[in-house]
Amino acid sequence: NAGVTQTPKFRILKIGQSMTLQCTQDMNHNYMYWYRQDPGMGLKLIYYSVGAGITDKGEVPNGYNVSRSTTEDFPLRLELAAPSQTSVYFCASRPSLAGAGELFFGEGSRLTVL
């Protein structure tokens, strides 16, 4: 009954460090997404993928990279972390046939950059 699993749940980075947020789903969903959620704001789309080997930029991609080598995994890479990247990050997925808005979310990863 795992659904969408994100790791780590919490992380503190120093400015300039790099890290990868892991996301895996066991529902065989083709579409996967990364969002960030800043306090008092809605979710902003960072990157998304419509299937293995295919990724595309969302609304706020700068400072991030993604890869999609398998259907299950969609890691988000932060290079040269900056305080502006302090946020809660959510991974989500959906099957191809579902509507664009019917997403399954992970529990989130809270990142602080100091």
Partner 1 sequence: GNSVTQMEGPVTLSEEAFLTINCTYTATGYPSLFWYVQYPGEGLQLLLKATKADDKGSNKGFEATYRKETTSFHLEKGSVQVSDSAVYFCALAISSGSARQLTFGSGTQLTVLP
- The answer to the question of residue 61 lying near partner 1 (CB under 8 A) is no
Q: Which residues of 38-58 are buried (b: 16+ CB within 10 A; e: fewer)?
A: eeeeebebbbbbeebeebeeb
Q: Which is nearer to partner 1, 17 or 31 (CB)?
A: 31
Which of 12-20, 36-44, 60-68, 71-79 is the region at the interface with partner 1 (rule: CB under 8 A)?
36-44
Based on the shown chain and the rule CB under 8 A, indicate whether residue 92 belongs to the binding site for partner 1.
Answer: yes
Q: Does 74 bind partner 1 (CB under 8 A)?
A: no
Query: Taking contact as CB under 8 A, which single stretch among the options 10-18, 19-27, 65-73, 92-100 is the one that binds partner 1?
Result: 92-100
Task: Quote the tokens at residue 40.
Answer: 């008092």
Instruction: Find the DSSP H helices in 1-114.
Output: none
Is residue 52 close enough to count as binding partner 1 by CB under 8 A? no
CA dihedral 50, 48, 44, 105 (to 10 degrees): 70
